[in-house]
């Protein structure tokens, strides 16, 4: 008898509880970004200045990643709703059907550099022939940029040794002579400079002017289930990007807080990054074309892919308003 | 031919393929067996990263294991024989061994990179650590477990220390040494793949290949790589068993 009444009460509570929980609690959005990547400053600004909350959404940081491909694996595992990530790994993941995400806005253009040792004999890109160069991972924006630079400047790729190192390890490896050069996102090139370890051989601006770099992506399921939240998120992103351009000093302070690096380094790094939310369709087509030539993804029609991959509507509406 | 041992694996493969076909198992989380075989073909023909073919990845990994394992044998067996033969030495060395042994080889990775840089030496060092302790401890226990009567009998027959070592101690310990070597190479092989995750200079290695496949989001090639790692592990173990049965004929 006791058991029966207990069960009745339990079930009644359960029935009462479930809908009320669903009604009251607003599910927070799970966001991911790359560790110490100053390109993604807009994400940190939006978190720090409360732009997400102001636009009516709760955001929870569900992952901080060392490189883009890792973040895309988290999308594949269903562990993220939205993320700040490089356009190349996002393209590779979608083209290889590993993750289903859509680009909602640009985060930055440019902002990477090839760095060599301070006293390096490598004075020109062509001197990289036969040298050991570190990239943050295959199919990262930097892998793409390095290959593009080698083709553009006609560098002999035979005998060049490209190795994978995570950006936080690159400066140490350059200092100890284990690598001759690295290509990384800011603030690592700036950090190599301010530490007196390295010098910039070539900025990504010189490799490909105005090249798109990081993007704000959303998982397709999140986008279809919570379109209003996706809009709010893009609004917060636009606001944060404008904030960086208008309130540079405060943005620098937030950059210092999230990267843990010193102010001169962050200032120097931010000079090489263009913060913009404007999407670059031609840039994405170039990524698709190049990635398929590198055999990272299968050959496909870039235009058809980009139509599916980039949502221009949400950002377009917000900018209009 | 005992065919019944194939029933379970084949059934599992068929169920897996079937569930993948009707999309119960999403292919981005677990590709079907057929898809993995195609991934294996891509690893052989296109390579991962494109251009770096599977056989070379396997050769580089085997080379790293061979070096690390050779050092583990070179240090582990003589030290184990000495420690087995001398209770005093055992008492002196044991505390250090007991302290170092439980540290997972992978915990040494940051230190290994610091000491030996990225590449061959640090990978070999990690493998050495994985293989060394099982070899050492099994050698010690092999010696300790020899029946003391054999030593006494040899001494009664006026055998010199050299003869006692080669005729009694070493043959008595060999079966146990082989067990240690098989465990050691197994752990070394497992550690290698993780050691290669942290970075290689040559651009080759099965662990590196798997990480690259992850970068390029090809789960089929990741699983194909894992399959190859498992198969090579089985082959190494069988090779050691064959050596063992040839050397330890009296057993």
pLDDT in tens, A114-145: 999 999 999 999 999 999 999 998 888 999 99
SS3 A140: coil
For B217, which of A96, A132, A165 is closest by C-beta distance?
Answer: A96
Any idea what the Cα angle at residue B106 is, between residues B102 and B109, rounded to 5°? 125
Q: How far apart are CA B33 and CA A26, in angstroms?
A: 41
Superfamily grouping for domain A27-110+211-320: Periplasmic binding protein-like II (3.40.190.10)
Could you tell me if B116 lies within 8 Å of chain A, comparing CB atoms? no
User: Is residue B119 scored above 90 in pLDDT?
Assistant: no
| Cβ-Cβ contacts under 8 Å, B202 against chain A | 161
Query: Which of B52, B217, B223 has the highest number of chain A CBs within 10 A, making it the mutation to test binding with A?
Result: B217
User: Is residue A113 scored above 60 in pLDDT?
Assistant: yes
- Residues in A lying within 8 Å of B, measured between beta carbons: 67, 69-70, 72-73, 76-77, 89, 92-93, 96-99, 132, 137-140, 161-165, 169, 173, 176, 178, 294-296
Look at residue A8 in the predicted model and tell me its pLDDT.
55
Question: Band of the pLDDT at A24, cuts 50, 70, 90?
Answer: very low
Look at residue B199 in the predicted model and tell me its pLDDT.
67
Could you tell me if B117 lies within 8 Å of chain A, comparing CB atoms? yes
**Dihedral pair phi/psi, residue A117, rounded to 5°:** -60, 155
Q: What is the mean pLDDT of chain B?
A: 90
User: Is residue A307 scored above 50 in pLDDT?
Assistant: yes
User: Is residue A194 scored above 90 in pLDDT?
Assistant: yes
Could you tell me if B111 lies within 8 Å of chain A, comparing CB atoms? no
Structural domain boundaries in chain B: 57-247
B9–chain A nearest CA distance, Å: 27
Look at residue A19 in the predicted model and tell me its pLDDT.
43
Q: What is the mean pLDDT of residues B59-77?
A: 95
Look at residue A89 in the predicted model and tell me its pLDDT.
92
Cβ atoms of A265 and A187 within 8 Å: the answer is: yes
User: Is residue A9 scored above 80 in pLDDT?
Assistant: no
Look at residue A111 in the predicted model and tell me its pLDDT.
95
The alpha helices in A160-210, defined as continuous H runs, are 167-175, 188-194, 204-207
Least confident of A78-87, A271-280, B26-35: B26-35
B130 Cβ contact list (under 8 Å, min separation 6): B68, B72, B105, B184, B187, B188, B190, B191
The predicted-structure confidence for A138-181, as pLDDT tens digits, reads as follows 888 999 999 999 999 999 888 788 988 888 889 989 998 889 99
Higher pLDDT, residue A238 or B151:
A238
Look at residue B109 in the predicted model and tell me its pLDDT.
85
Q: Please give the DSSP secondary-structure letter assigned to residue B218.
A: -
Q: How far apart are CA B110 and CA B61, in angstroms?
A: 20
Look at residue B23 in the predicted model and tell me its pLDDT.
87
A263 Cβ contact list (under 8 Å, min separation 6): A252, A253, A256
The share of chain A scoring above pLDDT 70, in percent, equals: 92
What is A112-207's CATH number, 3.30.420.10, 3.40.50.720, 3.40.190.10, 3.90.1150.10?
Answer: 3.40.190.10
Q: What is the DSSP string of A21-87?
A: HHHHPPPPEEEEEETT-GGGHHHHHHHHTTHHHHTT--EEEEEEESSHHHHHHHHHTT--SEEEEEH
| Cβ-Cβ contacts under 8 Å, A162 against chain B | 203
Supply the ipTM of this predicted assembly: 0.72
User: Is residue A303 scored above 50 in pLDDT?
Assistant: yes
Query: Which of A140, A163, A221, A293 has the highest number of chain B CBs within 10 A, making it the mutation to test binding with B?
Result: A163
CB atoms within 10 A of CB A155: 19
Q: How far apart are CA A14 and CA A2, in angstroms?
A: 18
Least confident of A1-5, A42-46, A56-60, A149-153: A1-5
Q: What is the mean pLDDT of chain A?
A: 89
Question: Band of the pLDDT at B27, cuts 50, 70, 90?
Answer: confident
Least confident of B9-18, B75-84, B131-140, B146-155: B146-155
Least confident of A72-76, B46-50, B117-121, B143-147: B117-121
Look at residue A22 in the predicted model and tell me its pLDDT.
41
Q: How far apart are CA A178 and CA A197, in angstroms?
A: 13
User: Is residue B213 scored above 60 in pLDDT?
Assistant: yes
Look at residue B37 in the predicted model and tell me its pLDDT.
96
| Cβ-Cβ contacts under 8 Å, B50 against chain A | 294-296
Higher pLDDT, residue B201 or B74:
B74
Look at residue A125 in the predicted model and tell me its pLDDT.
92
User: Is residue A320 scored above 80 in pLDDT?
Assistant: yes
| Cβ contact, residue pair B211, A164, below 8 Å | yes
* CATH number for region B57-247: 1.10.3720.10
pLDDT winner (highest mean) among A92-106, A153-167, A287-301: A92-106
**Dihedral pair phi/psi, residue A33, rounded to 5°:** -150, 175
The predicted-structure confidence for A205-255, as pLDDT tens digits, reads as follows 999 999 999 999 999 999 999 999 999 999 999 999 999 999 889 999 999
Q: Which residues of chain A are in CATH 3.40.190.10 domains?
A: 27-110+211-320, 112-207
């Amino acid at each position: 008898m006791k058991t029966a009444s207990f069960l009745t009460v339990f079930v009644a509570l359960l029935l009462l509880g479930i809908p009320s929980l669903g009604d009251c609690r607003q599910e927070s959005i799970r966001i991911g970004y790359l560790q110490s990547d100053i390109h993604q400053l807009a994400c940190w600004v939006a978190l720090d200045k409360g732009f997400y909350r102001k636009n009516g959404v709760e955001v929870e940081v569900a992952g901080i990643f060392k490189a883009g491909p890792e973040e895309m694996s988290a999308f594949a595992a269903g562990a993220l709703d939205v993320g700040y990530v490089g356009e190349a790994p996002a393209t590779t993941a979608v083209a290889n059907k590993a993750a289903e995400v859509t680009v909602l806005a640009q985060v930055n253009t440019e902002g990477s550099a090839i760095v060599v040792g301070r006293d390096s004999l490598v004075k020109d890109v062509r001197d990289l022939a036969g040298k050991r160069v570190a990239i943050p991972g295959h199919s990262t924006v930097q892998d793409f940029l390095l290959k593009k630079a080698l083709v553009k400047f006609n560098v002999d790729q035979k005998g060049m040794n490209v190795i994978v190192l995570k950006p936080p390890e690159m400066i140490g490896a350059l200092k100890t002579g284990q690598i001759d050069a690295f290509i990384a996102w800011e603030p690592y090139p700036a950090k190599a400079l301010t530490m007196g370890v390295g010098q910039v051989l070539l900025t990504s601006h010189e490799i490909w002017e105005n090249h798109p770099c990081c993007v704000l992506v959303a998982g397709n399921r999140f986008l279809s289930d919570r379109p209003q939240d996706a809009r709010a998120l893009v609004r917060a992103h636009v606001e944060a990007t404008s904030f960086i351009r208008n309130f540079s000093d405060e943005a620098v302070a937030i950059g210092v807080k999230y990267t843990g690096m010193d102010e001169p380094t962050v200032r120097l790094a931010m000079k090489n990054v263009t913060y913009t939310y404007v999407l670059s369709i031609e840039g994405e087509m170039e990524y698709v074309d190049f990635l398929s030539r590198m055999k990272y993804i299968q050959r496909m029609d870039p235009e058809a892919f980009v139509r599916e991959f980039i949502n221009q509507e949400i950002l377009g509406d917000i900018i209009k308003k | 031919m005992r065919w019944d041992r194939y029933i379970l694996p084949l059934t599992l493969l068929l169920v897996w393929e079937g569930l993948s076909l009707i999309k119960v198992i999403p292919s981005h989380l677990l590709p079907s067996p057929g898809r993995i075989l195609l991934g294996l073909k891509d690893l052989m023909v296109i390579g991962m990263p494109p251009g770096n073919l599977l056989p070379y990845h396997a050769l580089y990994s085997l080379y790293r294991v061979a070096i690390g394992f050779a050092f583990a044998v070179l240090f582990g067996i003589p030290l184990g024989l000495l420690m087995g033969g001398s209770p005093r030495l055992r008492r002196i060395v044991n505390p250090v061994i007991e302290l170092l042994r439980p540290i997972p080889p992978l915990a040494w990775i940051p230190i290994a990179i610091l000491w030996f840089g990225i590449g061959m030496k640090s990978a070999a060092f990690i493998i050495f650590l994985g293989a060394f302790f099982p070899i050492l401890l099994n050698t010690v226990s092999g010696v300790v477990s020899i029946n003391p009567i054999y030593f006494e009998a040899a001494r009664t027959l006026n055998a010199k220390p050299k003869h006692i070592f080669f005729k009694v101690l070493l043959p008595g310990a060999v079966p146990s040494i082989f067990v240690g070597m098989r465990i050691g190479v197994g752990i070394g092989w497992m550690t290698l793949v993780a050691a290669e995750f942290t970075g290689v200079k040559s651009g080759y290695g099965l662990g590196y290949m798997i990480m690259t496949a992850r970068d390029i989001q090809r789960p089929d090639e990741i699983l194909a790589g894992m399959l190859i790692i498992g198969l090579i592990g089985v082959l190494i173990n069988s090779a050691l068993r064959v050596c063992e049965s040839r050397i330890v004929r009296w057993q």
